[in-house]
Amino acid sequence: MKVYSTASEFLLDDSFCAYCLGTDPTAQHSWEQWLQAHPGQQALFNEAVSLFHSLNTTDTQAPENWRAFEQLLGNTAPQQDAIYIPLKRRSLYPRMIRTAAACVAGLLAAGAAYWMFTGNRQATHLAAVETYDTLRTRKGEQKRISLPDNSTVVLNDNSTLIYPHDMERSPRRNVRLSGEAVFHVQPDASRPFTVQTGRLKTTVLGTVFNVNAYTNSSNMTITVLEGKVGVASQLDSATLLRNQQVQYDLHRHTMTSSAVDAESLADWRHGKMRFRENTLAQIAASLENRFDTLIRFRQPEIAQELYTASFERRASLAAIAEVLCMNRNLQFTIQNNTLWFSYRNMH
């Protein structure tokens, strides 16, 4: 990926649009790596995310965003019908965003020239374009943050949270998550709190819940620790209460609800890693987010081995792998930053 000089240039990139929409795990992973390699581009990246979301708004809000640009232009261009791209319609795809980005770049350039020559200070009222902040953790790192609305979030390893900069004044409390986090949402009946994770949307008024939505996993899980949570995909929806969990299969696009020990599953906040009837593939994906090591299987069927286990966060990867191999016909080796599981005796 190249280095960018303007926010609108990001919107010309299909993978960036996919990152903002949260629909492509590969794009999510690629851009997270790009940001780690280009920390000096963080501010411009955040500006591009804000611009993307200002274009990708609801049907009722979109005309207002474009009207702000029209006011900026004044009489510098012939009157034309406003163009906007609604988020909820299937017409929202990178090709249209690229067109919008080019239009916005032209509008901003023309508006800037008009402002400079006329001294029209009304251009400063382009507050319709909401700005976003980004918080991310590296592998092996956890962070706690207080959001502008006084909600708190504990972010797990290798995770990214995008949230409105002025959330306390925004009519909506919408955030985007890649990775895992526990949300303790400040109650506000007039402003639901929504977490967007790819095609899954979690909505609450005030509660405590865990969201697991890593890009290297084949499913997402929403677990309720307190209160009530609504979860919706494009095809299904569910309402969860305390100690209930919904699992969303990213390949089959299906939702499955179950009763769980929510506090136990969210124990990662207290230095524990717990797995309940998880495949070795699922455990490996979790460990990859904790340690800077790839985990692979010499024989594909090993990935389907089932485990219920718990580990201390301070445990090394080798120690965890040794326990996973114990009482199984398994062994492991670590080569070139990759841990390989294999059978001791082929069968």
CA nearest neighbour of 2 among 36, 28, 38: 38
Cβ atoms 297, 342 nearer than 8 A: yes
Question: Could you tell me which residue, 17 or 97, shows the higher pLDDT?
Answer: 17
Cβ atoms 176, 248 nearer than 8 A: no
In DSSP terms, which residues pair with 196 in a beta bridge?
Answer: 176, 201
Tokens of 336: 């070139």
pLDDT of the residue at 81: 39
Cβ atoms 271, 313 nearer than 8 A: yes
Residue 303: pLDDT over 90? yes
What sign does the dihedral 120-124-129-135 (CA atoms) show?
positive
CA nearest neighbour of 276 among 289, 296, 295, 261: 261
Question: Could you tell me which residue, 289 or 59, shows the higher pLDDT?
Answer: 289
What pLDDT, in 10s, does the model give residues 6-22?
776 777 677 887 787 76
pLDDT of the residue at 234: 85
Question: Could you tell me which residue, 86 or 144, shows the higher pLDDT?
Answer: 144
Cβ atoms 236, 264 nearer than 8 A: no
pLDDT of the residue at 138: 92
Question: Could you tell me which residue, 296 or 50, shows the higher pLDDT?
Answer: 296
pLDDT of the residue at 22: 66
For residues 317-322, give the mean pLDDT: 96
Query: What gap in Å lies between CA 215 and CA 279, rounded to an integer?
Result: 17
Query: What gap in Å lies between CA 253 and CA 236, rounded to an integer?
Result: 9
pLDDT of the residue at 38: 81
What pLDDT, in 10s, does the model give residues 53-76?
655 543 334 344 434 434 433 433
pLDDT of the residue at 165: 87
Chain mean pLDDT for the chain? 79
What pLDDT, in 10s, does the model give residues 206-265?
899 999 999 888 889 999 999 999 999 888 899 999 999 999 998 888 999 999 999 988
Task: Give this prediction's pTM.
Answer: 0.65
What pLDDT, in 10s, does the model give residues 103-157?
555 555 445 444 444 444 443 444 455 788 999 999 999 999 999 999 999 999 9
Cβ atoms 11, 48 nearer than 8 A: yes
Cβ atoms 272, 310 nearer than 8 A: yes
Tokens of 225: 């620790």
pLDDT of the residue at 88: 38
Task: Show the domains of the chain with their CATH numbers.
Answer: 7-125 (no CATH), 132-265 (2.60.120.1440), 271-343 (3.55.50.30)
Q: Which amino acid is at 5?
A: S
* Count of Cβ atoms closer than 10 Å to residue 148 Cβ: 15
pLDDT of the residue at 105: 53
Share of the chain above pLDDT 70, in %: 74
For residues 72-83, give the mean pLDDT: 38
The pLDDT confidence band at residue 195, using thresholds 50, 70 and 90, is: very high
- The Cα diameter of the chain in Å comes to 81
